[in-house]
Structure 1
Amino acid sequence: MGATPSLGPPSRVNSMARKPGEQVRPQAERVRLCVPASTSNLGPGFDCLGLALSLHNVFIFEPAPEVSVVVKLHGCDDHDGQMVAEGRRNLVWQSADEVFRRTGARVNGLKITMNLAVPLARGLGSSATAIIAGVAGANLLLGSPLSDGEVFGLIVDLEGHPDNVAASYYGGLTAAMICKRTPHLIRYDVPPDIRIVAAIPDYPLSTEKARAALPKEVPLSDAVHNLARTPFVIEALRNGALENLALAMDDRLHEPYRIALLRNGRAIRKAALAAGAAGVAISGAGPTMIAFCHEPTAKAIAEAMTAQLKGGRVEVLGVDKKGLRATVRK
């Protein structure tokens, strides 16, 4: 188990990176970033827990006269590609442009090549990968005028909540919070034989629609219910003892209200548990559902979930321990 230090406020620029009055310009001719997908909440850890997954989007930045976005699909369908905005409306560019604005950099254009394997609007952190790539890629392109803490702080600032971005940025299992606009997190390693079986439907579900389904207030007993179970989820995943995960993943704050938005969601959960899953949860805002198990039972669980999934695909994934990877060519 490891804990990160407190991270600095997202708006502060690293004054040691450049001299006063010095113009920030691109220092690299190519930046390549590999960002893992993530699942969040993990049942009771609403807007707090995140887990990086062995499914990745790859982004390549190259300075150019104008903003252009090239999309290549790897496992995603054409509908996912159609959901990616072009030019300056693209989330990756908008995130990168925030770095350019805050550092005073003069960057008029950028060629962004996106190799997408994480389906959009499925509860697997696709927007988190885009924001991470935009902020981290722009910072590396400029020669890293922002510190690591400032980069992560800006990422959280743009995403609005830290659960998915913490896991995708740092890898492994993360518990994150925001205090006085500053993100804080704890990172945990997960045993290598843990598998996450993801039932990914062929339809999207926006975070906005999923959040609109939630009540404005919840009973105190439901809040206590979730608080009591969240540490058990962390410990089960940290040490690989999954025996009590089904009890620990019993959520009362969001899943009871969102399950109706998922086609055959209850049947998928029931089938996964019957096939040997230690615990089942809605991944993020949905509609993907995830089942946790050890490697030997993953195939049977995948087959059971596939039988109940009305369109889409089921993937058996591991935990990504590394988080963001980047290479820079100058």
Structure 2
Amino acid sequence: MKICIPATSANLGPGFDCLGLAIALYNEVTIKPSRYQSISVKGEGEENAKLKSNNIFVSIFYEIYQEVTGKKDPFRFEFYNRIPFSRGLGSSSAVIVGAIASAYSMAGIKVSREAVLNKAILYETHPDNIAPAVYGGFTSSIVENTKVRTLKKELSSQLRAVMVIPDRPMSTAHSRTLLPKSYLMKNVVYNLSRASLMSAAFFSENWDVLRAASKDCMHEHRRMRQLRELFEVREVALQNGALMSTLSGSGSSFFSLVKQENAAKVAQALKNRFESFRVEIFELDNGGFQILQS
């Protein structure tokens, strides 16, 4: 079997730990029965020996596979990674969701996407990345009594993601240490109001309010100070017509939502200003992970 899992951009400014969307940039994993376990890695991380000796995908896969079958059959795992590591594009969530979904598939057990999502929350405690990796589209999620509740909106084919991917990673764990333990009421209300308006904007496809709705005062500024060029990335994107421009997850990538006809202009302006950064235009994903039987 082969599974494809999309990249994701989470938080989207004020939607800290609850809002996210899926991007048409995919990791692929092919799993084959074998006489002995083996792992091959191509693409992102192919030179990292730890991905073969201590592979998180394989560990989670076998936890689930043994749980449902009682066996640890040997398989060959072939990874083709396109999602950059530690760049705020949901590489960890793609690993978790992909491992869980493929384990059930290889065990011959059909499970719902909701079941995959609620298994994934045991490994990734915030649903902002895992929900769009499961469902695709734009997702708004909460965790209630250890269960994830998510609403999904399919994204228009007329929209594109312009991603600025710096040559420097940012650790999510380290980024969280930069955040305060408590917030002023006015800052909480600031983010709540904008996250609410953003959700309404995506579901109603009212893109005109996104620039105002995507502003944040709880986490972005503190995280972006680790790579100050990101402040200018946002300015350049918005000046050239981006609908919104936000830190992707905890960074270091920056996500701009643009209309298809304006994507090339925004991307070129960013390339001209940030020559050492990778700038890419991606379509958006509405399907989430996909399992292909070979």
TM-score after normalising by structure 1: 0.84
CA distance in 2, matches of 1:160, 1:83: 26
- Amino acid corresponding to residue 107 of structure 2 in structure 1: L
1:152 maps to: 117
Partner of 1:321: 286
Larger radius of gyration: 1
- TM alignment of 1:104-143, pairs within 5 A: 104-143=69-108
Structure 2: runs of 5+ lacking an equivalent: none
- Distance in 2 between the 1:164 and 1:325 partners? 16
Q: Percent identity at matched positions?
A: 30
Amino acid at match of 1:322: G
CA-CA distance at 1:42 after TM superposition: 0.7
Structure-2 separation of matches of 1:69 and 1:216: 41
For the pair 1:47 / 2:17, whether they are aligned, the reply is yes
Instruction: Name the structure 2 match of 1:15.
Output: none
**SS of residue matched to 2:173:** helix
2:29 pairs, out of 56, 59, 71, with 59
Q: Tell me, yes or no, if the aligned pair for 1:230 and 1:248 is still in contact at 8 Å.
A: yes
Cα 1:308–1:225 change in 2 (3 A) is same
**Residue of structure 2 in register with 1:209 after alignment:** 174
- Aligned twin of 2:41: 71
Preserved contact between residue 67 and residue 87 of structure 1 (Cα < 8 Å): no
| Residue 260 (str. 1) matches residue 225 (str. 2) | yes
Q: Residues 181, 308 of structure 1: CA spacing in aligned structure 2 closer, same or farther, 3 A cutoff?
A: same
* Alpha-carbon contact 1:194-1:240 (below 8 Å) kept: no
Q: 1:95 aligns with which of 38, 60, 63?
A: 60
How far apart in 2 are the matches of 1:105 and 1:269?
Answer: 50
Q: Provide the rounded CA distance (Å) in 2 between the counterparts of 1:306 and 1:122.
A: 18
* Deviation, structure 1 residue 85: 3.0
Q: What is the alpha-carbon distance in structure 2 between the residues aligned to residue 83 and residue 292 of structure 1?
A: 32
Paired residue secondary structure (2:39): strand
Q: Measured at CA, do residues 236 and 243 of structure 1 come closer, stay the same or move farther in structure 2, by a change above 3 Å?
A: same
Q: Measure how far apart 1:83 and its partner are.
A: 4.5
Distance 1:308 1:161 in 2: 34
**1:177-326 counterparts in 2 under 5 A?**
177-309=142-274, 311-326=276-291
Q: Is the 8 A contact 2:131 2:139 kept in 1?
A: yes
SS in 2 for 1:86: helix
Number of equivalent positions:
294
Alpha-carbon distance, 1:128 to partner: 1.0
Q: Which moved more, 1:282-291 or 1:185-194?
A: 185-194
**C-alpha distance in 2 between matches for 1:153 and 1:245:** 30
Whichever residue aligns with residue 42 of structure 2, its letter is K
How far the C-alpha of 1:262 sits from its partner, in A, is: 2.1
Write out per-residue CA displacement over residues 69-127 of structure 1, whole angstroms, 9 at most, x where no aligned residue.
21111xx4xxx334473346211111102202422521143211111111111000111
Q: Which letter does structure 2 place at the counterpart of 1:70?
A: S
Mapped contact 2:68–2:107 kept (Cα < 8 A): no
1:186-210: per-residue Cα shift (whole Å, max 9, x none)? 1111221111110011221111111
How far is 1:224 from its partner?
A: 0.6
**Does the 8 A contact of 2:41 with 2:51 survive in 1?**
no
Deviations 1:142-184 (A, max 9, x none): 0116554332211121122111111011110101111111111
Q: Answer whether contact 2:116 2:134 (CA < 8 A) is retained.
A: no
**Cα deviation, residue 236, structure 1:** 2.5
Q: Is the 8 A contact 2:113 2:135 kept in 1?
A: no
Q: What's the CA shift for 1:53?
A: 0.5
When normalised by structure 2's length, the TM-score is: 0.94
8 A Cα contact 1:120 1:126, kept in partner: yes
Between the aligned partners of 2:200 and 2:159, the Cα distance in structure 1 is: 13
Q: SS where residue 92 of structure 1 aligns?
A: helix
SS of the aligned residue for 1:323 comes to coil
Structure-2 separation of matches of 1:139 and 1:180: 24
